[in-house]
C-alpha cells in the first residue's frame, strides 16, 4: 500500500514539474518564470525524498540538501538580476557611479 502511495506521489510531482516547465517557457513575466523555477527545485527535492523512501535508503539526503541550496542560490541570483540588471556587481563599476570628491 505504501509503494502504491509513493508511486502516485511521484506521478503527481512529475505532473507538477511539467506544469512548472510550461510556466517557465510561456510565463507572462520574469517573476512568474523565477517562481516556477523555484517550484521545480522544491518538487525535485520532494521527488528525491519519495525515491529515498521507496528504496529505503538515506543515501540521497545529501543530494536533497544540495538541490535545495542550488535552487535557493538560483532564485536569489534571478531576483537580483530582475532588480538590478546584473548578478555580480564589480567594485570598479560601483566606484565610477559615485561622485567622490577625492576622484576630482
| DSSP character string of 20-47 | HHHHHHH-SSHHHHHHHHHHHHHHHHHH
Distance CA 52, CA 46 (A): 10
Distance CA 67, CA 23 (A): 20
pLDDT of residue 86: 77
Q: To the nearest whole percent, how much of the chain has pLDDT over 90?
A: 63
pLDDT of residue 102: 61
pTM of the model: 0.77
Q: What angle do CA 86, 24, 19 make, to 5 degrees?
A: 155
Q: Looking at residue 103, what DSSP letter applies? A: G
> Is a pLDDT exceeding 90 seen at residue 52?
yes
> Is a pLDDT exceeding 70 seen at residue 104?
no
Chain segment 18-48, per-residue pLDDT in tens: 999 999 999 898 889 999 999 999 999 999 9
> Is a pLDDT exceeding 60 seen at residue 98?
no
Q: List alpha helices for 27-103, DSSP H.
A: 30-55, 61-84, 91-97
Amino acid at each position: 500500500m505504501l509503494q502504491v502511495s509513493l508511486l502516485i506521489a511521484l506521478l503527481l510531482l512529475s505532473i507538477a514539474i511539467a506544469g512548472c516547465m510550461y510556466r517557465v517557457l510561456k510565463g507572462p513575466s520574469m517573476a512568474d518564470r523565477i517562481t516556477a523555477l523555484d517550484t521545480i527545485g522544491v518538487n525535485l527535492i520532494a521527488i528525491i525524498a519519495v525515491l529515498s523512501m521507496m528504496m529505503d535508503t538515506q543515501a540521497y539526503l545529501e543530494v536533497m540538501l544540495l538541490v535545495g541550496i542550488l535552487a535557493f542560490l538560483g532564485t536569489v541570483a534571478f531576483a537580483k538580476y530582475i532588480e538590478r540588471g546584473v548578478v555580480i556587481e564589480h567594485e570598479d563599476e560601483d566606484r565610477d557611479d559615485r561622485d567622490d570628491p577625492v576622484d576630482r
